[in-house]
Amino acid sequence: MTTHVLVQALGDLEEAAVLEQVQRELADGVPALTVLEELQKGMVLVGERFECDEYFLSELIFAADIFKQANSYLAIDLEQRAGRMIGAMVLGTVKNDIHDFGKDIVGMVLRSNGIEVVDLGVNVGYERFVEAVEEHKPGLVGISCLLTTVYEDMKATIDALKAAGLRDQVKILIGGGPTDQVVADYVGADACCRNAQEAVDAAKRLLGVG
């Protein structure tokens, strides 16, 4: 029943209990990949509680931080870890915008929900998105912004992906303070996410695993 204990502890945001339980399970010989899977189930529980207004962004941030700490105990190589991930996203704040707090939080929460994130940083040029999609071949692209002045840059980024023949290979999510469905339609994105949990849900839906 160790699975239930760890999942529940992370779902309940019991930081010390999560870290103790992870170490106990590893000492008992539970495979690291199994522990990782339990932690990911714990994050699903956190997400469910967020969706029914039991948790808020503060709890998502805390849960993702606990997950990150717990993860540091797991000696899993990149190849094995990749096998446990449900998808990948190239993520960045669009050109001409240097805000990163929303992007960083979304990236952290996505990672703890089994989505590999390639973070390109802020003020990311259109071609950089194209290069990253060519290099990493993710199923998802995430574009963040906090300024209404960069809608055109979001559109130009997506147009650049179209011009490179990559648009059909990725689903594109946008997010950030001044974005909504109207903006998503205008720039040609597949979804607009109002918060980190919506990003997780949209990512899973668009990857066909949610």
Partner 1 sequence: MGDMTGLLEQRRRLLRDTVALRQTQRVPVVPLANAFTVKVVGVSLKDFCADPVLAYETIIQGLTSLGEIDATQQPGYSPWLLQLLWNSRVKVPGVDLPDDTLWQVEELELITPEDYDTIIDGGYGAFLERFYAETLGDPLVKVGPYMESAPAAVAAWEAKGLPVLASGVVTIPFEALCGGRSLRAFVLDLIRMPDRVQAAMDAMMPAMIEGARGMLRAFPTAMGVWVGGWRTASQFLSPTLWERFVFPYYTTMVDVVLEEGGIPVLHFDANWNRDLERLRELPAKKCILSTDGATNIRRAKELLGDRMCLMGDTPAPLLTLGTPDEVYDYASALIRDLGPTGFILSSGCDIPYSAQIENVRALIAAAND
* Residue 104 makes contact with partner 1 by CB under 8 A: yes
Which C-beta is closer to partner 1: that of 145 or that of 170? 145
**DSSP β-ladder status, 115-119 and 87-93:** parallel
Q: Which residue, 107 or 139, has its beta carbon nearer to partner 1?
A: 107
Kindly state whether residue 16 participates in binding partner 1, applying the rule CB under 8 A.
no
Count of H helices and E strands in the chain? Answer: 10, 5
Q: Residues 56, 195, 103, 19: is their CA dihedral positive or negative?
A: positive
96 touches partner 1 (CB under 8 A): yes
DSSP state of 167: G
- Using CB under 8 A as the binding rule, the residues of this chain from 105 to 134 that contact partner 1 are 105, 108
The yes or no reply on residue 59 touching partner 1 (CB under 8 A) is yes
Strands (E), the chain: 87-93, 115-119, 140-144, 171-175, 191-193
> Which of 48, 69, 73, 101 touches partner 1 (CB under 8 A)?
101
Judge residue 3's burial from the number of C-beta atoms within 10 Å of its C-beta, 0-12 exposed, 13-18 middle, 19 or more buried: middle
By CB under 8 A, tell whether 73 contacts partner 1: no
Q: Which is nearer to partner 1, 21 or 179 (CB)?
A: 179
Q: In the complex with partner 1, which residue's Cβ is closer, 12 or 65? A: 65
Q: Which of 47, 128, 66 is nearest to 95 (CA)?
A: 128
Q: Does 51 bind partner 1 (CB under 8 A)?
A: no
Residue 156 engages partner 1 in binding (rule: CB under 8 A): no
In the structure encoding, which two tokens stand for residue 110, read together? 């996505």
Tell me the longest C-alpha to C-alpha distance in the chain.
55
Among 31, 121, 165, 178, binds partner 1 (CB under 8 A): 178
44 makes contact with partner 1 (CB under 8 A) = no
Which residues are near partner 1 by CB under 8 A? 53, 55-59, 61-62, 65, 96-101, 104-105, 108, 146-149, 151, 177-180, 182-183, 186, 195
